[in-house]
Amino acid sequence: MSEPISRRAALILVDVQPDFMPGGALACHEGDAIVPGIDRLLKRQLFQHAVATQDWHPAGHISFASSHPGREPFERIPLYGHAQTLWPTHCVQDTPGAALHPGIDWSSVDTVIRKGDDPRVDSYSGFRENHGPDGQRPSTGLADWLRGHDVDEVYVCGLARDVCVLWTAQDAVELGFRTHVLWDLTRPVSPDAEVDLATRVRYDQLGVNVIDSSALG
């Protein structure tokens, strides 16, 4: 069954960066498996618009366990009234691990939204930062960009299925975009199948339409 793609739909490619792939600083389980499929999808030019996000942290970023003496990666700490997972040092600005993945031809992507560049605040969603010290969640400008291009529907893929793709899809729904996730073109940080099933249920609960890229066009 193939779904027709609206001219008002955009493809959102979340954090397809070497640091999130095997061998990288914060590897997703089988993260590299999505690269050929994303490259093929972009080459098919099915979408009127394509945007990418790029995790882009300064050295010493607050989300790094290394910024918190005595803490280990994947521990959670309270930060500004919310839980913050501490991550291995990853996607440091201008390092190869932070690049848009070289296995993909990015030339058809309209804009790249860099996120996580405030040293004090993490940013999972492509739409807005996590909670900052003032309790606010500043916008990244992605929603304005999409609305400015008459987009009302988004297809989200990339990394990680259980973190930044999830938060991006959740915000997309909240902001009123019809939201799909291309499941086969995502991979989770956690290799645990139970966790992955819970993630899948979470998407359903949020009102995200989960499909495989084979259903497109």
* Closer of 164 and 216 to ligand VGL (Cβ): 164
C-beta of residue 140 within 8 angstroms of C-beta of residue 115: yes
User: Is 157 among the catalytic positions?
Assistant: no
Residue 159 contacts which entry, Zn ion, ligand VGL, none (Cβ below 5-8 A, type-dependent): ligand VGL
Q: Which is nearer to ligand VGL, 27 or 50 (CB)?
A: 27
Q: Which two tokens stand for residue 149?
A: 């291009």
What is the contact mask toward ligand VGL in residues 156 to 195, using x (rule: CB under 6 A)?
---xx--xx-------------------------------
Alpha-carbon distance of 18 to 8, in angstroms, equals 30
Cβ nearer to ligand VGL, comparing 55 with 177: 55
How crowded is residue 140: how many other Cβ atoms within 10 Å of its Cβ? 21
Number of Cβ atoms within 10 Å of the Cβ of 169: 31
Catalytic residue among 28, 115, 157, 171: 115
Asked if residue 179 lies in contact with residue 207, where contact means CB atoms within 8 angstroms, the answer is yes
Residues numbered 29-88 forming contacts with ligand VGL, rule: CB under 6 A: 55, 87
Quote the radius of gyration of the chain (alpha carbons, Å).
16
Distances (CA, A) of 163 to 83, 87, 170, 190, 216: 13, 12, 11, 10, 24
Report the alpha-carbon distance of residue 189 to residue 168 in Å, rounded.
15
Cβ of residue 90: shortest distance to Zn ion, in angstroms?
A: 6
- Among ligand VGL, Zn ion, none, the one that 113 touches (CB under a kind-dependent 5 to 8 A) is none
Q: What is the CA angle 135-140-145, rounded to 5?
A: 140
Cβ closest to ligand VGL, residue 102 vs residue 176 = 102
91 is catalytic: no
Residues forming beta bridges with residue 83, ordered by sequence position:
78
Q: Which is nearer to Zn ion, 32 or 55 (CB)?
A: 55
CB of 8 to Zn ion, least distance (A): 30
State yes or no: residue 15 binds ligand VGL (CB under 6 A). yes
115 assigned to active site:
yes
Give the interface with ligand VGL as residue ranges (CB under 6 A).
15, 20, 26, 55, 87, 159-160, 163-164
The residues carrying an active-site annotation are 15, 115, 164
